[in-house]
């Protein structure tokens, strides 16, 4: 059975409908990537799963329990943590405080502690007392990932963690993914960089205009099929 | 020497104004909510203490200690069930609602306790003084000032040393992202207002021991509190203490020149600071 799944997930921003019945599945210990152009609905999908946007209860199921209608703090407490788009560090908190606040709603013993997060991203140990927003973009992204890991989540949602970063920095950040998987989290990674998504994911979903247009394992998807799913077959 | 005495009395008076202001500063710092009923809540706190003193025969300090948890619960409920509904992008609803609350509170106090001015019973302690060289210092003003400093220190410890304090700051920065950390912003706000009303109770105790109060003096306390918060810089707790001291010193100097100038001198000091430092003495960087 899937650890996390969406069923006919629909989302609106006021009158604007952003998702038109999205079905995705994430198995235990799996990593899936969601790719698609700007405005395809990837971030909306993440925000719906995390509870920032309310849905029908049955539209999102975690461990067989409907969680679609629950608020984000409850969903986080059950073990679904999010690295939000744009990092969203708290400017009033130091690096270490940003990490510590990641455990506010969920304190369970597990692999991830301040020490293991610092081992994963050693630069953060040096900068622990700096304000979170005084760091470089890549370091801020490390804090955002560490903050989500601190609650030892069962599912980690990573929304565009490579956005606005230099390729060499992106590589550094993705180097952490095997350790995150080894510690027992299943991942949903939203990516605009198709090659990066293919490299990291067990399965890939491609979205366009609020719908899933293609899915499969990276080696089963041809460049042309992805191109069509990304931009529409008519282009 | 008379001037040194005046300034010291002013500093001590500033402690009382800082106590008026600390709760206002806390609530504004966390949720950008300007509570126009703050002064009336102080007066209500004074009546609650008075009630406990007269009905149960408690000494004022003990009565205040009993009133604190009551006021915390009241503040928690007030925020959770009323004020949280007014928070949003628009700053007008909280102003209107707390303005209405201010009027409702004044009238409720007037109905219940009449317009007669009241005072908490004084004891030997409240009239005692200590001699520091040629200057005579009242024990009560000293206690007031010490309490103000302790309240500011305690609030700073809470803000920067505890998990609740981290949650306060994170929610103040970005409530949506805070909820992704498992924080319930509505409860964080309710707790903040609860703590603000505990400080209000301390302010009410010294207000009632120092001078007479009646149901209509709330708005004037609000203005002193407001001026202290603005002088100090919105959201800065040490700034609020300094703001209170500046108003207190200005008032006692004004009164020393001419007793009619006491209140006016405080307001003029406030305007002068605004003229020189429009964002206050210690503004927060990210406002």
Give the tens place of pLDDT for each residue, B91-112. 899 999 999 999 999 999 999 9
What local confidence, expressed as pLDDT, does residue B1 receive? Answer: 67
Close Cβ partners of B287 (under 8 Å, ≥ 6 residues apart): B234, B235, B279
Residue in chain B closest to A99 (alpha carbons) equals B181
Mean pLDDT of A3-14: 92
What local confidence, expressed as pLDDT, does residue B132 receive? Answer: 83
What local confidence, expressed as pLDDT, does residue A153 receive? Answer: 96
Does residue B227 contact residue B234 with C-beta atoms inside 8 Å? no
What local confidence, expressed as pLDDT, does residue B287 receive? Answer: 47
CA angle A47, A49, A53 (to 5 degrees): 45
pLDDT band for B71, please (50, 70, 90 cuts).
very high
Instruction: Give me the phi and psi of A13, to 5 degrees please.
Output: -110, 100
The shortest CB-CB distance from A105 to any of B166, B173, B183 is to B183
The answer to whether ipTM exceeds 0.90 is: yes
Q: Is the pLDDT of residue B143 over 90?
A: yes
Does residue B24 contact residue B229 with C-beta atoms inside 8 Å? yes
How many CB atoms sit inside 10 A of residue A15's CB?
5
| pLDDT digit string, tens, across residues A33-83 | 999 988 899 999 999 999 999 899 999 999 999 999 999 999 999 999 999
Residue in chain B closest to A83 (alpha carbons) equals B180
pTM over 0.80, yes/no: yes
Cβ within 8 Å, pair A73-B183: yes
Which strands, in side-by-side order, build the sheet including A4-13?
A: A16-26, A4-13, A60-62, A65-66
| Minimal C-alpha gap between A63 and chain B (Å) | 19
Residue in chain A closest to B286 (alpha carbons) equals A91
* Substitution target from B178, B180, B184 for chain A, most A beta carbons within 10 A: B180
How many CB atoms sit inside 10 A of residue B80's CB?
17
Cβ within 8 Å, pair A50-B182: no
The shortest CB-CB distance from A90 to any of B173, B182, B184 is to B173
What local confidence, expressed as pLDDT, does residue B88 receive? Answer: 87
- Asked if B170 is an interface residue toward chain A (Cβ–Cβ < 8 A), one would say yes
Cβ within 8 Å, pair A104-B183: yes
- pLDDT > 90: what percent of chain B? 84
Both tokens assigned to B194: 């609860």
Mean pLDDT of chain B: 93
Query: Residue B48 is inside which H or E element, if any?
Result: helix B38-56
* Substitution target from B160, B168, B178, B181 for chain A, most A beta carbons within 10 A: B181
Chain A residues in contact with B163 by the CB 8 A cut-off are: 100-101, 104
What local confidence, expressed as pLDDT, does residue A232 receive? Answer: 77
CA-nearest of B227, B219, B234 to B98 is B219
The runs of H, that is alpha helices, within chain A are 42-50, 72-78, 95-101, 114-120, 122-126, 137-149, 167-174, 177-182, 194-200, 223-231
What local confidence, expressed as pLDDT, does residue B70 receive? Answer: 98
Chain B residues in contact with A147 by the CB 8 A cut-off are: 181
What local confidence, expressed as pLDDT, does residue B208 receive? Answer: 95
* Substitution target from A90, A114, A151, A152 for chain B, most B beta carbons within 10 A: A90
What local confidence, expressed as pLDDT, does residue A99 receive? Answer: 97
| pLDDT digit string, tens, across residues A130-163 | 998 899 999 999 999 999 999 999 999 999 999 8
CA-nearest of A201, A86, A96 to A146 is A96
What local confidence, expressed as pLDDT, does residue A194 receive? Answer: 87
Instruction: Give me the phi and psi of B147, to 5 degrees please.
Output: -65, -40
What local confidence, expressed as pLDDT, does residue A100 receive? Answer: 97
Is residue B234 helix, strand or coil? Answer: coil
pLDDT band for B182, please (50, 70, 90 cuts).
very high
According to DSSP, the residues that pair with A19 across neighbouring strands are A11
| pLDDT digit string, tens, across residues B22-69 | 999 999 989 988 999 999 999 999 999 999 999 999 999 999 999 999
Chain A residues in contact with B182 by the CB 8 A cut-off are: 73, 76-77, 104-106, 151
Chain B (179-208) residues lying within 8 Å, Cβ to Cβ, of chain A = 179-184
Task: Give the rounded distance of the alpha carbon of A70 from its chain centre.
Answer: 18
B163-173 vs B185-210: helix crossing angle, rounded to 10: 110
pLDDT band for A97, please (50, 70, 90 cuts).
very high
Query: Residue B263 is inside which H or E element, if any?
Result: helix B262-276
Cβ within 8 Å, pair A147-B181: yes
* Substitution target from A73, A76, A108, A132 for chain B, most B beta carbons within 10 A: A73
Does residue B47 contact residue B118 with C-beta atoms inside 8 Å? yes
| pLDDT digit string, tens, across residues A108-117 | 999 999 999 9
């Amino acid at each position: 059975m899937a650890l996390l799944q969406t069923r006919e997930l629909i989302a609106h921003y006021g009158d604007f409908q952003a998702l038109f019945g999205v079905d995705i599945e994430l198995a235990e210990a799996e990593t899936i990537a969601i790719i698609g152009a700007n405005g395809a609905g990837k971030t909306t999908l993440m925000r719906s799963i995390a509870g920032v946007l309310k849905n029908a209860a049955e539209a999102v199921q975690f461990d067989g329990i409907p969680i679609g209608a629950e608020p984000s703090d409850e969903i986080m407490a059950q073990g679904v943590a999010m690295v939000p788009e744009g990092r969203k560090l708290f400017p009033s908190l130091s690096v270490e405080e940003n990490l510590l606040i990641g455990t506010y709603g969920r304190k369970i013993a597990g692999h991830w502690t301040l020490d293991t997060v610092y081992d994963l991203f050693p630069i953060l140990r040096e900068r622990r007392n700096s304000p979170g927003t005084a760091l470089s973009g890549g370091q801020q992204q490390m804090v955002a990932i560490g903050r989500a890991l601190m609650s030892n989540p069962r599912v980690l949602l990573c929304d565009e963690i490579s956005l606005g970063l230099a390729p060499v920095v992106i590589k550094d950040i993705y180097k952490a993914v095997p350790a995150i998987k080894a510690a027992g989290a299943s991942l949903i990674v939203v990516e605009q960089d198709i090659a990066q998504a293919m490299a990291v994911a067990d399965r890939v979903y491609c979205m366009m205009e609020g719908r899933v247009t293609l899915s499969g394992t990276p080696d089963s998807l041809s460049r042309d099929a992805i191109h069509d799913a990304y931009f529409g077959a008519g282009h | 020497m008379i001037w040194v005495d005046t300034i010291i009395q002013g500093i001590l008076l500033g402690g009382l104004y800082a106590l008026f202001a600390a709760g206002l500063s806390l609530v504004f710092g966390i949720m950008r909510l300007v509570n126009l009923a703050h002064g009336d809540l102080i007066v209500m706190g004074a009546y609650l203490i008075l009630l406990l003193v007269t009905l149960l025969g408690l000494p004022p300090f003990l009565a205040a200690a009993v009133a604190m948890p009551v006021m915390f619960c009241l503040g928690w409920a007030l925020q959770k069930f009323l004020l949280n509904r007014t928070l949003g992008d628009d700053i007008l609803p909280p102003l209107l609602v707390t303005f209405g609350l201010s009027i409702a509170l004044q009238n409720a106090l007037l109905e219940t306790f009449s317009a007669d001015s009241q005072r908490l019973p004084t004891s030997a302690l409240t009239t005692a003084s200590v001699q520091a060289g040629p200057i005579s210092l009242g024990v009560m003003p000293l206690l007031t000032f010490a309490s103000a400093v302790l309240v500011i220190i305690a609030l700073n410890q809470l803000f920067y040393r505890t998990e609740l304090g981290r949650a306060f700051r994170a929610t103040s920065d970005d409530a949506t992202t805070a909820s992704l950390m498992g924080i319930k912003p509505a409860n964080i706000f309710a707790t903040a207002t609860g703590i603000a009303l505990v400080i209000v109770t301390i302010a009410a105790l010294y207000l009632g021991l120092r001078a007479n109060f009646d149901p209509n003096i709330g708005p004037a306390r609000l203005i002193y509190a407001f001026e202290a918060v603005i002088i100090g810089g919105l959201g800065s707790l040490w700034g609020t203490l300094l703001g209170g001291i500046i108003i207190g010193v200005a008032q006692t100097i004004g009164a020393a020149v001419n007793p009619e100038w006491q209140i006016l001198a405080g307001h003029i000091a406030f305007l002068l600071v605004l003229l020189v430092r429009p964002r206050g003495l210690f503004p927060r960087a990210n406002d």
